[in-house]
Structure 1
Amino acid sequence: MSNLNFNDTINDLSNEDVSIRKEAVESLVGITDEEAIEPLIKATTDDNAQIRFKAAEILGSMGEVAVDKLIDEFENAEGKDKRFLAFALKETENKKVIDSFVKSTEDEDFGVRKVAVRALGELQAEDELDFIAKCLDDEDWGVRLAAIQALGDLATEESINLIKDARKAEKDKDFKKSCNKAIKKAQKRQKAKAAGESVAKVIPISTIKEMEKTNLQKAIKEYERYVESKQDKDAPYKRLCILYRKANDYDNEVRVIETAIEVFSDNDKKLEYFTKRLAKLK
């Protein structure tokens, strides 16, 4: 994006016409320019929910580039304005945000509390178990459910026991089902850890392919989860090779190929694609 187009797009985020604001925020998907951070933060308070969500999603995808500014804004925000900033912070997947989310488990807004406790689980904040556990007594059903999910993410004996206690104390059948689901997930994670396997949260490949059309940066991030956990599906590795080639990112393409060769070393059919691709790069 040229400087002229970039400046026009940033200005359009404040246009009175909601359709122009929507088009502007969509055109910023995948951007990493620090100058876009403050305008996007402002967009998280837009009157239109779609714009607020998309702005938060973009900020989250920026990761390390935006996280410090997001933390500052989040800790000075109040009420509903905090909700989408909370979502953006969670999407950064950066452990810097843990302290902010710990404080926010007692926020006056239930939406912020829900995102905060959920994020603590996803970030594997085992040291903050007491704060997660307190949310099991929250007045909001959604926050209590998020706490159950967070405890399932931690997948420790202590967190599983807390889920079991909450299940025993709760009468709501749907809540009990969620507890059962969280326990199964936690036990599956425990087995994977015990076997020395990497545990990564992945979404269906078909969903990621669709995501490529709207948020390429996030799609790459989701494909990388498959590589990180060395899953035996070759499609994510192939898509990453293609996407990194288009971006002229030689180093990352080689890294993905070499990981694929390791993963598919005993599968000649899948291995052939990656060995040939690597040979062409050298």
Structure 2
Amino acid sequence: MSNLTMTEAIENLQNDDVSIRKEAIESLIGVTDEAAIDPLIEATTDESAQVRFKAAEILGNMGNVAFDRLVSKFTSESGKNKRFLAFALKETNNEKAIPLFAEAVSDEDFGVRKVSIRALGELQANDYLDVIAKGLDDEDWGVRLATIHACADLASDESIALIKKARRAEKDEDFKKSCKKALKKAEKLQKAKSEGKVVVSTIPMKTIKDMEKTNPQKAIKEYEKYVQAESDKDAPYKRLAVLYRKLNDYDAEVAVLEKAINVLSEKKPGKEKWFVDRLNKMK
């Protein structure tokens, strides 16, 4: 475990030794200080794939804190230098980035096109299905595959029809198999939506709990997915409340407590007591 301060880590991102830069980027995981944004953005073009990916992931986990700077850099960059900026923007999960991704579907770089199409699917950009569909005619196999996954994320009649059309037109057997998996996912999501369920992709709670020590910002984002899905488990609400308290984010803590009370009192009566007591103590 590195003992570098944030200032030391930022300085070391400029070091000629890749091992030192790798240590530096690991030290910045979970950082939310605005002073780290520009150095991290610069690191998204590092010669080391590990440094590039981690820098983009950290920026994405910063969410709205880094969003405006990411947008500014993304719109001014070109070519492969935009790839990890696109990934960082996707990870912020900010719907304001949808128009940017829609435009980037026609970017000169295949990596940017691929990430942008996936982002449109994950952000549920149903109004941009025609733009997403352009990826089915892309010369790059990965972009076409990303388009299939994006259509599955949207899980609408129209997007499912596009997957079926792509499966019929494609000769590559691996691609056809991917289409089949995407269809199963889309149909499952569509059924859940028709039943009024909130559909969110989550990872196991134990994995998120372990993540709290190494990447608290990422852990918060993953717990928030359980809350968004109105989980009937009390654990994600509790962990979020604790993490928000550590960050001194009063408004966010109150919001998650109130959400837990509303959801659990209906789905698991009695489970809301912990949250009621905690909320009363905060008043």
Q: Deviations over 1:92-121 (max 9, x none)?
A: 112222222222222232211110111111
Q: Give the whole-Å Cα distance in 2 for the aligned partners of 1:21 and 1:258.
A: 42
- The answer to whether the aligner puts 1:184 opposite 2:184 as a matched pair is yes
- Stretches of structure 2 lacking an aligned partner (at least 5 in a row): none
| Residue of structure 2 in register with 1:220 after alignment | 220
Report deviation, 1:281: 4.3
Match of 1:60 in 2: 60
Deviation at residue 244 of structure 1 after TM alignment:
2.3
Given residue 31 of structure 2, which amino acid in structure 1 is its aligned partner?
Answer: I
1:144–1:260 Cα change, 3 Å = same
TM-score, normalised to structure 2's length? 0.88
Deviates more, 1:201-210 or 1:142-151: 201-210
1:78-104 superposed Cα distances (whole Å, 9 cap, x missing partner): 332221111111111122222222222
1:148-189 CA-to-partner distances (Å, cap 9, x unmatched) read: 010111121111111111112223333223222222322333
Aligned counterparts of 2:7 and 2:174: Cα–Cα separation in 1:
49
**Aligned pairs for 1:109-148 within 5 A:** 109-148=109-148
What value does the CA root-mean-square deviation take over the aligned residues? Answer: 2.3
Distance 1:70 1:251, change over 3 A: closer
Q: Contact 2:156 / 2:190 at 8 angstroms: preserved in 1? A: yes
Structure 2 residue aligned with 1:200? 200
Equivalent residue, structure 2, for 1:236: 236
Match runs of 1:1-282 below 5 Å: 5-265=5-265, 266-268=267-269, 270-281=271-282
- In the aligned structure 2, how far is the partner of 1:172 from the partner of 1:27? 43
Alignment-mate amino acid for residue 75 of structure 1: T
With over 3 angstroms needed to count, the CA separation of the structure-2 counterparts of 1:98 and 1:217, relative to structure 1, is same
SS at match of 2:254: helix
What is the TM-score normalised by the length of structure 1? 0.89
Partners of 1:129 and 1:82 in 2: CA distance: 23
Figure out how many residues of one structure are paired with residues of the other and give that number: 279
Could you say if the C-alpha distance between residues 281 and 34 of structure 1 is closer, same or farther in structure 2, counting changes exceeding 3 Å? closer
Distance 1:174 1:270 in 2: 47
Q: Which segments of 5 or more consecutive residues in structure 1 lack a partner in the other structure? A: none
Deviation at 1:23, TM superposition (A): 2.5
- Kindly provide the amino acid, as one letter, of the partner of residue 93 in structure 1: N
Amino acid at match of 1:49: A
